Structure 1
Amino acid sequence: MTTSTHLLRRRRFLPLFVTQLLGAFNDNLFKNAVIFFVVYSVYQSEKAEAVFSGIASALFILPFFLLSALAGQLADMRDKAMIIRWVKLLEIAIMVVGGGGLVLAWFGIAVENFAIPLMLVALLGMGVHSTFFGPIKYAILPQHLKQSEVLAGTGLVEAGTYLAILAGTILAGFIPVEWAAAGVVITALLGYATSLQIPEAPPMVEAEPLDYHILRASVQLVKNTMHDRRVFLAIASISFFWAVGAVLFIEFPLLAKRVLCANKEVASLFLVIFSIGVALGSVSINQLLKGRVSARYSPPAVLIMALFVVAFQQVCSRFAPTADGHLLSVAEFLHHPLAPMLLGTLGGIAIAGGMFVVPLYAFLTTFVDKSQTARTIAANNVVNSGAMTLGALVAVGLGAAGLEIVQLILIAAGMCLISAWLGLLLYRAEQAAEAVKVEG
């Protein structure tokens, strides 16, 4: 924790940390304001709500799949700080569009025909924003931090991201939609201001022509990155983790309304608990590993996560519907006898998840050459987005086919088992590589 505190006092880390924190906050303030408004104020059909939630998630994820290769090339071959500033400038324009959609929804003007499509366009735009910012926020760490600081820096970035998700989610669930419209624009302006303080991060390799053929570039990027077994296993493990996350995040608002008979503030509370848990797991794993980048604790962490997912599903299945379709407020929900167990199992899922994924991201940024870091993260984002899209499609498809929401949660537990197996293979490959190094 000392190293972490030290980093927060340094210009080589703090402006980047604040910039990514504001970006994650804005993503979630806008995305959740849109989803909560539509689910609770527009549609009254479980199927329509599930389809909209899936479409919104898919639109946000799609740019990661299509544009990560270009984002990785740019980040490795151009000054990373400069790219961040251009990306944050773009965020201002995107949030003006998205805020306009929220304002139209507030006034009730062409809600389904114009306001909602406008908000979905902005969600797609924020996906593009995050696609280009994502590789940089990890790739810049080995360039600005010492080797012994990278795990702590990665943990802080993850913790900060989820605390920002927490703040954005709380506000989205509790403030009026018109306040959210103003908030996303103001936050985008602040994000651009803090990005101006990030120190230069020139490319570590000579610039090469960019490949704008997104499909070919994506295939080549993943092919070039995944040839090393350890990188392949790390990316595969992270991808299954985010597929689990996609299923859970799609289901939370629907679960709150349809299964637990709770209002949008309770749905927001679930995301808050999840975000706090991941942040705690992200920071605590650095203490367990004492700054050493290793997948040692990843397999048991994700197995524990699977157990908590099953326990969470069992608790949810025991909630009885309220009379006359009444939606519980936060106060009423917290007085429910099963609420402590439900929130406890949800927190357990999140803490274990944070402990699982942070060392894997740190592994990707420290194992490869610094000139390849952004493209490695970009390749990871391509595979991650494919896994998340598949998870979202499976959740939406099974929901549309009539499978109960509470049963869909068990899909996440099954994905955790696959992640644990991949994490174990990675740790064994890590040990084998260390043994060869010692013998050499």
Structure 2
Amino acid sequence: MNTSTDLLRSKRFLPLFVTQLFNAFNDNLYKTAMVLFVVYQVYNDESTEAAFSALASGLFILPFFILSALAGQLADMRDKARIIRIVKFCEILIMFVGAVGLTLAWKGIAVDTFAIPLLLVALFAMGVHSTFFGPIKYAILPQHLRREEVLAGTGWVEAGTYVAILAGTILAGWIPVEVAAVGIVVTAVIGWLVSLKVPAAPPQGQPEKLDWHILRASVRLVRDTMHNAEVYYAILAISFFWTIGAVLFIQFPPLAKNVLMASKEVASLFLVVFSIGVAIGSVAVNRLLKGSVSARYAARSVLMMAVFVLAFYFVCKLWQADAPTELLGVADFVSWPMAAVLLLCLLGVAIAGGMFVVPLYAFLTTRVAPEKASRTIAANNIVNSGAMVIGSLLATALSAAGVPIVEQVLMCAAMCLFSAWLGDRLHRAESNAAAQVA
């Protein structure tokens, strides 16, 4: 049986997979349409644009840091499928608010005083929505899939996520903002309808009382999760990976506009290439590992990622030496000298990143008791979001200090080195655990 492709025909997996596709698509259609519109149509200053991009990323990430402990408790103690349906219904209401904000901004009505704040409120609410959906999309897999299917299922979820990011990002860069306003509401409705088909996933342990003290619950959750060495290093490695990704995504729109002199469609193309690369890496590492959950390729993958980040930086520096004087459309951009090399560097960054991160998520659901899987993912989200918020603040501070956006790319290369060390430590912990079992 071809486990990987058979999953896509399985009623145990397909509804969740499609629900996640619509979720990721809508997140990125809204977020990218909002950021590109503000960067290209409202502001006209590199530091202000970078600061807004960082603020948007930080607001989206912040709920993961604040609410993940509660989200993990709910997912482990209640039916996961029911929570998915509730969350997806709330998305319809949130996207309606976002659509109003986009429409007001498009019409030029109270842009700074009301439209942009409304857009950011909706973005924060989508972060809350994703905080409650996030632990479930991975933790539900061991409940519906056989053990040998979990890595393949994780790979498909990760690859599908980035294909959906790709689609949402392409549309956000090419369609008018008023069309995006309608699209996000329609997509939310479709996502909710598909979620009705996700099979029931009742709690697997004894129900426990929810701890509504957010800070105490978060500290306890992280502390209780990190005692397992494999989970500990997997969470730290994932956190640094997503911090790198967050900084890169913050940099792309202002870098495209101010360094490469490229249009918003090209900025969208950057995000597209990155998404394609992670999807390729997600599927490739599953083939290499042949279904086993292992970190044997982690350190090498992220070191290769660092090499491609450095190459991307040097190509940007060469580009600046002979930069165009007007914004380039996609056709003019791809025909510009060094454009193909630039895009290949970005693709290499993403492929290596996908190969690095996918097996690490499988560690989180296969190295803990099934009744604690959601809380493990939630603990990962807390640490991830904290690291990503720090990365966003650092990018904001560097922009405020006048550090050119292209020089900030070097920070990502340096962070890859530390991620490689974490990947190596994870592989050693994995080998030690295997030796003890033997």
Q: TM-score, normalised by structure 2?
A: 0.99
CA–CA distance in structure 1, aligned partners of residues 13 and 229 of structure 2:
31
Partner of 2:286: 286
Partner of 2:316: 316
Residue 35, structure 1, aligned to residue 32, structure 2: no
Q: Secondary structure at the match of 2:342?
A: helix
**CA pair 225-26 structure 1, distance change in 2 beyond 3 A:** same
Report how many residues are paired: 438
Residue 215, structure 1, aligned to residue 230, structure 2: no
For structure 2, the residue ranges without an aligned partner over 5 or more in a row are none
Residue 152, structure 1, aligned to residue 152, structure 2: yes
CA-CA distance at 1:320 after TM superposition? 3.2
CA–CA distance in structure 2, aligned partners of residues 235 and 7 of structure 1:
26
Partner of 2:378: 378
For 1:12-411, list aligned pairs within 5 A. Answer: 12-320=12-320, 325-411=325-411
CA-CA distance at 1:48 after TM superposition? 1.1
Deviations 1:71-114 (A, max 9, x none): 00000000000000000000000000000001111111111111
Q: Is the 8 A contact 1:65 1:386 kept in 2?
A: yes
Partner of 1:430: 430
Q: TM-score, normalised by structure 1?
A: 0.98
CA–CA distance in structure 2, aligned partners of residues 5 and 207 of structure 1:
35
For structure 1, the residue ranges without an aligned partner over 5 or more in a row are none
**CA pair 321-182 structure 1, distance change in 2 beyond 3 A:** farther
Which residue identity is paired with 2:154? T
Q: Secondary structure at the match of 2:12?
A: coil
Partner of 1:7: 7
Q: Is the 8 A contact 1:259 1:321 kept in 2?
A: no
CA-CA distance at 1:13 after TM superposition? 0.3
CA–CA distance in structure 1, aligned partners of residues 321 and 421 of structure 2:
38
Q: Is the 8 A contact 2:230 2:367 kept in 1?
A: no
Q: Secondary structure at the match of 1:224?
A: helix
Deviations 1:347-398 (A, max 9, x none): 0000000000000001111110100000000000000000101111111101
Q: Secondary structure at the match of 1:245?
A: helix
Q: Is the 8 A contact 2:149 2:291 kept in 1?
A: yes
CA–CA distance in structure 2, aligned partners of residues 204 and 135 of structure 1:
15
- List structure 1 segments (4+ residues) > 6 angstroms apart after TM superposition: 321-324
Structural RMSD (CA): 1.1
CA–CA distance in structure 2, aligned partners of residues 129 and 321 of structure 1:
44
**Identity across matched positions, percent:** 67
Which residue identity is paired with 1:93? L
Q: Is the 8 A contact 1:261 1:321 kept in 2?
A: no
Q: Is the 8 A contact 2:73 2:374 kept in 1?
A: yes
CA-CA distance at 1:209 after TM superposition? 1.1
CA-CA distance at 1:4 after TM superposition? 1.8
CA–CA distance in structure 1, aligned partners of residues 379 and 258 of structure 2:
37
CA–CA distance in structure 1, aligned partners of residues 318 and 6 of structure 2:
46
CA-CA distance at 1:3 after TM superposition? 1.5
CA–CA distance in structure 1, aligned partners of residues 18 and 355 of structure 2:
22
CA–CA distance in structure 2, aligned partners of residues 45 and 204 of structure 1:
53
Deviations 1:123-182 (A, max 9, x none): 001000100000000000000000000000000000000000000000000000000000
Which residue identity is paired with 1:167? A
CA–CA distance in structure 2, aligned partners of residues 318 and 132 of structure 1:
44
CA–CA distance in structure 2, aligned partners of residues 215 and 68 of structure 1:
10
Which residue identity is paired with 2:89? L
Q: Is the 8 A contact 2:261 2:323 kept in 1?
A: no
